[in-house]
Amino acid sequence: MASQQPLAVGLIGAGRMGSFHAETLAHRLPGVRLAAVADPAPGAVERLAAPLGCATAYTAIVDLLADPRIEAVVIATPARTHADLVEAAARAGKAVYCEKPMAVTLAEADRAVSAARDAGVALQVGFNRRYDPGFRAAHDKVVAGAVGTPQLLRSLTRDPKLADPAPIPPWTIFLETLVHDFDTLRYLNPGADPVEVFAMADALVRPDFKDRGLLDTAVVTIRFDNGALATAEANFQAVYGYDVRGEVFGSEGMLTLGDIRRTHLTSYGSGGITAECVGYDQDLFRDAYVAELADFTDRVRTGRAPAVTGEDARAALSIALAAIQSVTVGAPVRIDELKEH
Amino acid sequence: MASQQPLAVGLIGAGRMGSFHAETLAHRLPGVRLAAVADPAPGAVERLAAPLGCATAYTAIVDLLADPRIEAVVIATPARTHADLVEAAARAGKAVYCEKPMAVTLAEADRAVSAARDAGVALQVGFNRRYDPGFRAAHDKVVAGAVGTPQLLRSLTRDPKLADPAPIPPWTIFLETLVHDFDTLRYLNPGADPVEVFAMADALVRPDFKDRGLLDTAVVTIRFDNGALATAEANFQAVYGYDVRGEVFGSEGMLTLGDIRRTHLTSYGSGGITAECVGYDQDLFRDAYVAELADFTDRVRTGRAPAVTGEDARAALSIALAAIQSVTVGAPVRIDELKEH
Amino acid sequence: MASQQPLAVGLIGAGRMGSFHAETLAHRLPGVRLAAVADPAPGAVERLAAPLGCATAYTAIVDLLADPRIEAVVIATPARTHADLVEAAARAGKAVYCEKPMAVTLAEADRAVSAARDAGVALQVGFNRRYDPGFRAAHDKVVAGAVGTPQLLRSLTRDPKLADPAPIPPWTIFLETLVHDFDTLRYLNPGADPVEVFAMADALVRPDFKDRGLLDTAVVTIRFDNGALATAEANFQAVYGYDVRGEVFGSEGMLTLGDIRRTHLTSYGSGGITAECVGYDQDLFRDAYVAELADFTDRVRTGRAPAVTGEDARAALSIALAAIQSVTVGAPVRIDELKEH
Amino acid sequence: MASQQPLAVGLIGAGRMGSFHAETLAHRLPGVRLAAVADPAPGAVERLAAPLGCATAYTAIVDLLADPRIEAVVIATPARTHADLVEAAARAGKAVYCEKPMAVTLAEADRAVSAARDAGVALQVGFNRRYDPGFRAAHDKVVAGAVGTPQLLRSLTRDPKLADPAPIPPWTIFLETLVHDFDTLRYLNPGADPVEVFAMADALVRPDFKDRGLLDTAVVTIRFDNGALATAEANFQAVYGYDVRGEVFGSEGMLTLGDIRRTHLTSYGSGGITAECVGYDQDLFRDAYVAELADFTDRVRTGRAPAVTGEDARAALSIALAAIQSVTVGAPVRIDELKEH
């Protein structure tokens, strides 16, 4: 491996997530180099590329895709652009890692998956919780039968605080936040397919944004074809920190997941017991973000199939779309009767 | 208080729950005495009354109700008989403590509540979790504003193991198990009323009993009129123990509730960390059962109104009935459009 | 059992501990009655006895001991009086339950043990932690080999706050507080005997009382004859609550013990995670106090030997005296070379 | 920073710890490069250097020290060689990071400290727990007064399993294992100096090695000059994993430290609650090892003084030597009367 050339990876999107991935690609992955960065935002690539020792910076994404030295791309642009970029990158013959959600319509998702298949390139999607050691161990235990047949599942995401809601598109809570939970529920109920979805949602954090269609609180119930009933829950403003938890209950036991503590320090004082919570800035999934790129690039280099596929992205999307439809019509929605959103 | 005569309480129903209450009434409550026991089952009252030093045992409940020495009754018979017994006891002028559920139809509930009101007797219902120090402290904190406005709630009950399902009536999971959780959700979201209910349920523990209408796994989503979205969840067979938990999330924070550990002992060995779970036999709510009878009898003796009322029972029942209707029709049900079950 | 006469128990000492035991004897133990109370303090017995329905109150302890109706006594007087009262009660033919410490010198301890043996009466000592379900389960696990051979042990007691130190006798931290921990260490290292003791102690909470000999902080190291090294630690003022914990580490694993949380409620807010601690008033060992009297009275009634013996009290005392001697001479002290204090 | 030349670091010692540091230096620290590796063991440097892209490999350490391109060295050789290498590296003008213990005699420690001072080079010692976020937060809280005046402290280290004890030198438990705890106790009791030390130790894991002087279990009590009493405890074989914990108790509260759980996954089954423990291979302090080298190299590059000094190493060593002397003489030892070991 040492004698091999490092894998040349191009990063598309120099925002918060992109910057983190850039640092990972530049410094943390042996056998990988950050070969180029592309972002149309003025100044973005300059700020990011040079300090990381990356000499090539594009303001036109198309130029990065046309760069023959680039073997793989990491897409970290706004969600609504993902599917088109996956398609374009696949056609350009690049292996593709795409941040979640890979697509926001089923048609888009199908095109992205087809493009990668037709081009014969790897396509991996950024469901990073699958790379967290706790979630991974839970999945493995479920596969090994530790809980028997899953009967009840739960996954929740509560973001530490709501940034300015103005630019947030409607349905974001389903398409960008809960899509993680929908994937987690599939990951923790392996082999089962969602059948029916019911969702309640509201604008409780910022009621003033409700008339713009921005919902910030949601509860989704999902029935799977193995009988399991699952709940996914999200909220955009947890004042205490970044709260991600999961639970699988089955005929032989239960697994619980989640760790909101910042460190292992506990304080005891006249006010009782206290401990600090983790927030975005001490990111709960920092190691998982690194691990997923390490796995993706390793699979590309060794020619193995990606671990989290475009089909996985499509399956999670279908639950999100069913939830949106359920909120719209006020009734449960069957996945097989899903009307395209 | 010492010079006062002890309050004479009659126990109706000498089963598992009744036996526990009998022991509490006989031994644990200063100022209270177990004055009579009534149960039509052959031999039941003899087995229970004498060893507790209770000289009066009736095989006809009507005889206990007619006994003028009895000042208050504790009803611990099968659920379907509760409302009629509440009504009869109220008419007989006894203060009434009734195990949950107080009724299984709204008409019954209304009759029971009216009977107590008309007779001017106290009527308290056995939602014992309100007497658990953790749940009580959570309620108090919510009232004090510790979580701000509640936005997401959860309550779950998983029973340690499914006894023979044969004699369990249909809808028990809603009417007898989840009714606790419905009350807990009201208790943790004080002052709010349920508006809409959606339920998914199945027979996953014992699929062979599904065609008899016995459901053993359920997830219920409830929208309250303060916007809060709540989930109640139940299952009849948790192999690890007796699992009762709650959660309230709001604009200013979150509270979590639940303690499945049997003791404070933790073991560390070559197989990792282990601890034991609590089951029915080390009952999680033993102290709460005692506390609720202590409070009931104290209120009766001092002429104060009961803390958990017939109206509370009716409100929890209405959620249960809406959940049953939701399962039946496969759609969300509004509480104000509830058809009597 | 129901036809048997209740066991007539006399309580000696109507202070805080005595009052709790009185309530237990009067109300909580079927087959037991509080037959008399004795306390020389003016008004003490009147305040306690009558409200509990106990008609006999003595201001002279000797009168209680002379009362032929009394079958067993519970001694809850100040520590320095215990041994003489055990001796007197035994000579009067009463079964004896004595609060810890049973004695504060080895000579006293020997006299007390001999008196009970000679009189053929039961003698049980109030090491209540042995009746806590967690400590008991730990003991049982050690006996069952769960940790292999014990190698390292720890027991600690931190009291919630230092009441007025003025009346506290010197060496109290060893004779009255740590004596619990010394017994716990013996209980968790069953069958092993202490060989050597080293103690460091100081007046850190109230340095102004150091010159009166009042120490409030201590660490004691003990070597047992099975090789195990143990630490006992105490402090008179933990601002966060009542902190009692234990640990046993051995060749096959570890057990940890202790639960300072008041309830199972956890709060999450902008200040992080918080929970409340237990204090004296929500006593950590309330159930254990009841359980030990239940066990004692049951053993007396059924003629079985007591579970926590005078010999146990003597063994814990010998460690306390060695610790005192160690502090005095500034060197480790062998138990077999212990000079009487 | 980007335009600056990376800091050229030479690694001395290609064993387990050295290999980890090599990987950190090669890949994880922007602005740092692994410039050379030296280890006299046949084949060691070849195995390590080339795969990490490090072209220079020495089998003679003296050659690395003579290499003028090397600006800083990381010493990760066996403990007994540390002090001489610190001295030699300082004389060669290299900044020095030395794994703990920096020295095993006070004379050595003094020579190492002097050499660095005389050469005007940075000298940092590898007490990595100071770079763990929990321990660091605890230190900061103590400094901020969160526990008031420290009164009782505890630090313990239990290694997951005893490798072949044959090559382990006598007193290793004090000089190499507990030296971490001694430093931790100083870190958690900032500004206080140890005054008196008492130790009990034994060969309980491998009694057959006791006659070679190998002790594997130890308890050390330390009195500090601010009155605080501290316990350090170690054992070479914890079958459940790698157990490192700490505790500071003071006039205003307590802090507890330690996290033996491998992940945030908890399992509940018919056997109760289970969770996995961390071992060496999922190293508890992996991030802390990286953080300390990041901090060291950053300080060297920016000309700031090291955070963990040779004086810190000497202070921890003095406690270790006092503990050894205490075991030898069977009595407490004052630090100011310490006889050189």
SS3 of residue C59 by DSSP: coil
The residue type of C22 is: A
The pair of structure tokens assigned to A59 is 């303001």
DSSP code, position D128: G
For residues C268, C269, C274 and C276, what is the CA-based torsion angle, rounded to 10 degrees? -100
Q: Is C270 on the interface with A (CB under 8 A)?
A: yes
Q: Is D270 on the interface with B (CB under 8 A)?
A: yes
SS3 sequence of A52-95: HCCCCEECCHHHHHHCCCCCEEEECCCHHHHHHHHHHHHHCCCE
Q: Do D198 and C332 touch (CB under 8 A)?
A: yes
The pair of structure tokens assigned to C250 is 């051995």
Question: D-chain residues within 8 Å CB-CB of C228?
Answer: 204
> What residues contact C16, with CB distance under 8 A and at least 6 apart?
none
Across the beta sheet with B123-126, what order do the strands follow?
A: B57-58, B32-38, B7-12, B72-75, B95-99, B123-126
Question: A-chain residues within 8 Å CB-CB of B331?
Answer: 331-332
Report the chain C residue with the minimal C-alpha distance to residue A279: C272
At B1 the pLDDT is 39
Report the chain B residue with the minimal C-alpha distance to residue C282: B133
Q: Is B20 on the interface with A (CB under 8 A)?
A: no
CA–CA distance, A324 with A71 (Å, rounded to integer) = 37
SS3 sequence of B163-210: CCCCCCCCCHHHHHHHHHHHHHHHHHCCCCCEEEEEEEEECCCCHHHH
CA–CA distance, C64 with C70 (Å, rounded to integer) = 8
CA–CA distance, C120 with C143 (Å, rounded to integer) = 29
Q: Do C205 and D239 touch (CB under 8 A)?
A: no
Cβ neighbours of B134 (radius 10 Å): 22
Please say whether the beta carbons of D223 and D216 come within 8 A: no
Question: C-chain residues within 8 Å CB-CB of D218?
Answer: 229
The pLDDT of residue B3 is above 50: no
Please say whether the beta carbons of B195 and B223 come within 8 A: yes
What are the backbone dihedrals phi and psi of residue D161, each rounded to the nearest 5 degrees, phi first? -160, 150
At C213 the pLDDT is 85
Q: Do A255 and D270 touch (CB under 8 A)?
A: no
DSSP code, position C137: H
DSSP characters over A303-339: TPPPSS-HHHHHHHHHHHHHHHHHHHHTS-EEGGGPP
Helix (H) or strand (E) holding B244: strand B243-250
CA nearest neighbour of A45 among A19, A8, A7: A19
Which residues are bridge partners to D223 per DSSP?
Answer: D196, D229
Q: Is D241 on the interface with B (CB under 8 A)?
A: yes
Question: D-chain residues within 8 Å CB-CB of A276?
Answer: 137
CA–CA distance, B35 with B99 (Å, rounded to integer) = 19
Q: What is the mean pLDDT of residues C290-309?
A: 97
What counts of helices (H) and strands (E) characterise chain A? 10, 15
Task: Name the residue among A152, A198, A235 with its Cβ closest to that of B235.
Answer: A152
Report the chain A residue with the minimal C-alpha distance to residue B223: A200
Interface partners of C (3+ CB pairs, < 8 Å)? Answer: A, B, D
Please say whether the beta carbons of A31 and A301 come within 8 A: yes
The pair of structure tokens assigned to C315 is 């063994």
CA angle, residues D23, D26, D27, in degrees to nearest 5? 80
Helix (H) or strand (E) holding D137: helix D133-143
Question: B-chain residues within 8 Å CB-CB of D277?
Answer: 268, 272-273
Positions of chain D with pLDDT under 70: 1-4, 282, 340-341
| DSSP E strand boundaries for A206-265 | 217-224, 229-235, 243-250, 253-258
Global pTM value: 0.95
At B341 the pLDDT is 53
CA–CA distance, B147 with B149 (Å, rounded to integer) = 6
The pair of structure tokens assigned to C233 is 């630690």
Question: A-chain residues within 8 Å CB-CB of B227?
Answer: 202, 204, 207, 217
At D316 the pLDDT is 98
CA–CA distance, A50 with A34 (Å, rounded to integer) = 11
User: Closest approach of chain C CAs to the CA of B49, in angstroms?
Assistant: 11
Residues for chain B: how many in total?
341
Report the chain A residue with the minimal C-alpha distance to residue B201: A229
At A115 the pLDDT is 98
Find out whether the peptide bond into C101 is cis, omega within 30 degrees of 0: yes
Average pLDDT in chain B: 95
SS3 of residue D234 by DSSP: strand
> Domains of chain D (ranges plus CATH)?
7-129+288-306 (3.40.50.720), 130-282+316-337 (3.30.360.10)
Question: The complex's ipTM?
Answer: 0.95
SS3 of residue D255 by DSSP: strand
Q: Is D256 on the interface with A (CB under 8 A)?
A: yes
Helix (H) or strand (E) holding D140: helix D133-143
What are the backbone dihedrals phi and psi of residue A37, each rounded to the nearest 5 degrees, phi first? -130, 140
What are the backbone dihedrals phi and psi of residue A228, each rounded to the nearest 5 degrees, phi first? -60, 140
Q: Best interface-test mutation with D: which of B240, B256, B261 has the largest number of D CBs within 10 A?
A: B240
pLDDT in tens, D189-198: 999 999 999 9
Question: B-chain residues within 8 Å CB-CB of D240?
Answer: 268-270, 272-273
Q: Do A138 and D257 touch (CB under 8 A)?
A: no
C-alpha R_g of chain C: 20
Q: Do A240 and B227 touch (CB under 8 A)?
A: no
At D204 the pLDDT is 97
CA–CA distance, C149 with D237 (Å, rounded to integer) = 12
Q: Is C226 on the interface with D (CB under 8 A)?
A: no
User: Closest approach of chain D CAs to the CA of A2, in angstroms?
Assistant: 5
CA–CA distance, C76 with C98 (Å, rounded to integer) = 7
The pair of structure tokens assigned to D44 is 């060691």
The pLDDT of residue C151 is above 80: yes
Please say whether the beta carbons of D180 and D289 come within 8 A: no
pLDDT in tens, C63-80: 999 999 999 999 999 999
The pair of structure tokens assigned to C245 is 């914990």
User: Closest approach of chain B CAs to the CA of D284, in angstroms?
Assistant: 15
The residue type of D264 is: H
Interface partners of D (3+ CB pairs, < 8 Å)? Answer: A, B, C
- How would you write the pLDDT of chain A (341 residues) with one tens digit per residue? 344 689 999 999 999 999 999 999 998 898 999 999 999 999 999 899 999 989 999 999 999 999 999 999 999 999 999 999 999 999 999 999 999 999 999 999 999 999 999 999 999 999 999 999 999 999 999 999 999 999 999 999 999 988 788 889 999 999 999 999 999 999 999 999 999 999 999 999 999 999 888 999 999 999 999 999 999 999 999 999 999 999 999 999 999 999 899 999 999 999 999 999 998 876 788 999 999 999 999 999 999 999 999 999 999 999 999 999 999 999 999 999 998 65
The pLDDT of residue B173 is above 60: yes
C134-153 per-residue burial string, b: 16 or more CB within 10 A, e: under 16 = bbbbbbebbeeebbebbbbb
Question: C-chain residues within 8 Å CB-CB of B138?
Answer: 265
Report the chain B residue with the minimal C-alpha distance to residue A248: B238
List Cα–Cα distances, C39 to A338, C13, C63, C82, D110, in angstroms: 81, 5, 10, 13, 67
Interface partners of A (3+ CB pairs, < 8 Å)? Answer: B, C, D
CA–CA distance, A307 with A122 (Å, rounded to integer) = 10
The pair of structure tokens assigned to A93 is 């013959």
CA–CA distance, B317 with A321 (Å, rounded to integer) = 33
Q: Best interface-test mutation with C: which of D151, D210, D256 has the largest number of C CBs within 10 A?
A: D151
Q: Do D141 and A253 touch (CB under 8 A)?
A: no
For residues C279, C282, C285 and C288, what is the CA-based torsion angle, rounded to 10 degrees? 170
Q: Is C158 on the interface with D (CB under 8 A)?
A: yes
Which residues are bridge partners to D154 per DSSP?
Answer: D231, D247
CA–CA distance, B228 with D162 (Å, rounded to integer) = 55
Report the chain D residue with the minimal C-alpha distance to residue B160: D270
CA–CA distance, A91 with A101 (Å, rounded to integer) = 20
The pair of structure tokens assigned to C308 is 């926590």
Q: Is pLDDT larger for residue A156 or for residue B213?
A: A156
Q: Is C229 on the interface with D (CB under 8 A)?
A: yes
At B2 the pLDDT is 41
Q: Best interface-test mutation with C: which of B267, B270, B282, B287 has the largest number of C CBs within 10 A?
A: B267
Instruction: Pick the range with the lowest mean pLDDT from A7-11, A289-293, B40-44, B71-75.
Output: B40-44
Q: Is A315 on the interface with B (CB under 8 A)?
A: no
Q: Is B212 on the interface with D (CB under 8 A)?
A: no
pLDDT in tens, C24-34: 999 889 899 99
